[in-house]
Amino acid sequence: MSFKTMIVAVALIAGATADANAQGLSDLLKGLGRNDGGISSTIGNALQGIFTKTDLTLDDLVGEYESTGPAVAFKSENFLQKAGGIAGAAALETKLQPYYEQYGMIGMPLKIDKDATFTLMVKRIKLNGTVIRNDGDGTFTFNIMVAGMKIGQFTAYVQKTGRDLDLMFDATKLKELISMVGKFSGSKLTASLSTLLDSYEGACMGFKMSYKGGGMDSPTTTSPGSSSSGSTTNGSSDTTSDPIGSLFELLNRRK
């Protein structure tokens, strides 16, 4: 989910509830947080552009995806504020977009299999390898190879909204990944992109991955401390898998 979408959603929610309740959004989330099993904390962090540790497992990542644009999150509120808050994070996504188009990072197919292997196509370059879940910090390690050559281990910060993924890396590792792929494709990392990636301390940058199929039957929850396997009831997915949907649900409870 992009920061622009989050901003619009929050504005709509705030407008819809202004007459009925003078309580601010942040206060509302804090008040609800006592009894919602951590949902409010996840929603709040998602809306603020902060990476939230989750209980995702490899099974939650299994499926076929396609990249649709840049994904950005910050490791803490302090780093986010240094970048200019949520508006600054949204601006960073906008700045990255033309570079992603230039390097063929829009429309990349990604497949993650149940045997913990993956394939990712960047232009005509095939990246493959294995995925390992790191216990304790909600991250995954991608061991990446190109043409049979290991190019490195990359810690990935993964957030899931419904079935879609935000697959992000430290800015320095994203720069390394783009540089290594460029050696095979003939596209050198430009000085301007390198400078941009180095300009944001504490930022996780990567790809919005739109789900295309091949995964588990039901969406999963990404709420801290909750089960990693979601469920559907009467056609409705677990509300914790979508922060914006969960926010509407929480607001409805207040009526």
Domain of residue 235 covers 1-255
Q: Comparing 40-44, 121-125, 184-188, which segment has the lowest mean pLDDT? A: 40-44
pTM score above 0.85: no
| CA separation for the pair 72, 48 (Å, rounded) | 11
Residue 180 has pLDDT above 50, yes or no: yes
Number of domains in the chain: 1
Mean pLDDT of all residues in the chain? 73
* CA-to-CA separations, 7 to 22, 29, 49, 138, in angstroms, rounded: 19, 16, 10, 25
pLDDT in tens, 16-73: 443 434 344 444 444 434 444 434 334 444 444 777 778 899 999 999 999 999 999 8
Q: What is the mean pLDDT of residues 170-187?
A: 85
